[in-house]
Amino acid sequence: MANLNIKLKVWRQKNKEAKGKFVDYTLENITTEMSFLEMLDVLNEKLTHQGEDPVCFEHDCREGICGCCGIYINGRAHGPQQRITTCQLYMRHFKDGETIVLEPWRAKAFPVIKDLMVDRSAFDRIIAAGGFISVNAGGAPDANANLITKHNLEKALDAAECIGCGACVAACKNASAMLFVSAKIAHLNRLPQGKPEREKRAFAMLEQMEKEGFGSCTNTEACSAECPRGISMDVIAETRREYFRASILKEKV
């Protein structure tokens, strides 16, 4: 265990309308065993005692699964490590004396509402548009009625790993939500249960994505590189194919 002294440059913005700016803080004796968010807790305790407004940041489960947290750290979504969320980042990955820059996700479709907190409700509206299988509770056949090969199941699960954190959007120079949307489309299309609505789903979700103000995908692969769940670019290719296929079938509803 070692102790670090660090400098922070944190984006502070009072509310959606206010103009934000970077504010500098210093912290001493941060232990390397602390998580990044625990380091921010320490900062906030300090600020509170000093009578200064604590830094607002989103977090909940603090074990990398709820998708709440998301800070742009030193120019990287969820920080310097790969395949983790911000809450899974530990201070042992930083150096003594280092300056760490903290920004919110930046995207037109994710407006900043305070400090490091953004509004990601656009993702929910995309799911509401078509990210589901239309079955009501009650009438489902026996779970083993459909055989699903292990391979296909694992592929569907790979796509279903998405936690909806929005790092893909933050990392993308176009602020596109293509990885998020495609992960959902691939999760459902790769299963037999998802097939009946595949065309309709692709149309509805992509249309909603555009409406929300996300940019277009230009295949730079930054999304996949920064995805804490390692969702692969394959899902985007599949979605393009699905959209093309659906256009030919003219199944748009």
Partner 1 sequence: MKLDSKIPAGEVHEKWTNRKFSYKLVNPANKRKYEIIVVGTGLAGGAAAASLAELGYKVKAFCYQDSPRRAHSIAAQGGINAAKNYQNDGDSIFRLFYDTVKGGDYRAREANVYRLAEVSNNIIDQCVAQGVPFAREYGGLLDNRSFGGAQVSRTFYSRGETGQQLLIGAYSSMMRQVGLGNVELHTRADVQDVVVVDGKARGITVRNMVTGEIESYCADAVILATGGYGNAYYLSTNAKGCNATAIWRAHKKGAAFGNPCFVQIHPTCIPVSGTYQSKLTLMSESLRNDGKIWVPKDAKDKRPPNEIPEDDRDYFLERKYPSFGNLVPRDVASRNAKEMIDQGKGVGSTGKAVYLDFADAIKRLGKDKITEKYGNLFEMYEQITAEDPYKVPMRIYPAIHYTMGGLWVDYDLMTTIPGLYALGECNFSDHGANRLGASALMQGLADGYFVIPYTIGDYLANFKKDKLTVDAPEFKQSAKEVSDKMTRILNVNGTKTVDELHRELGMVLWDYVGMARNEAGLLKAKQMIKEIREDFWKNVKVLGTNEEINQTLERAARVADFLELGELITDDALMRRESCGGHFREESQTDENEAKRDDENFSFVAAWEYKGEGVPEELHKEPLQFDYVKPSQRSYK
Residues 6+ apart with CB under 8 A from 172: 178, 215, 217, 220, 222, 223
Cβ atoms < 10 Å from Cβ of 104:
24
CA proximity to 163, closest of 57, 247, 87, 241: 87
- Phi/psi at 16 (5° precision): -60, -40
**29 touches partner 1 by CB under 8 A:** no
Choose one: 2-10, 72-80, 88-96, 98-106; the region binding partner 1 (CB under 8 A).
88-96
Does the protein bind partner 1 through residue 20 (CB under 8 A)?
Answer: no
- Is 156 one of the binding residues for partner 1 (CB under 8 A)? yes
Q: How far is the CB of 119 from partner 1 (least distance, A)?
A: 7
145 phi and psi angles, rounded to 5 deg: -65, -35
* Contact characters 114-133, partner 1, x per CB under 8 A: x--x-xxx-xx--xxxxxxx
Does 191 interact with partner 1 (rule: CB under 8 A)? yes
- Backbone φ and ψ for 41, nearest 5 degrees, come out as -60, -45
**Site size with partner 1, rule: CB under 8 A:** 77
Using CA atoms, how far apart are residues 227 and 206, in angstroms rounded to an integer?
20
The correct pick among 12, 25, 54, 74 for binding partner 1 (CB under 8 A) is 54
Contact of 116 with 10, CB cutoff 8 Å? yes
Nearer to partner 1, 130 or 215 (CB): 130
Q: Per CB under 8 A, does 60 bind partner 1?
A: yes
Q: Report the residue number, 156 or 172, with the smaller CB distance to partner 1.
A: 156
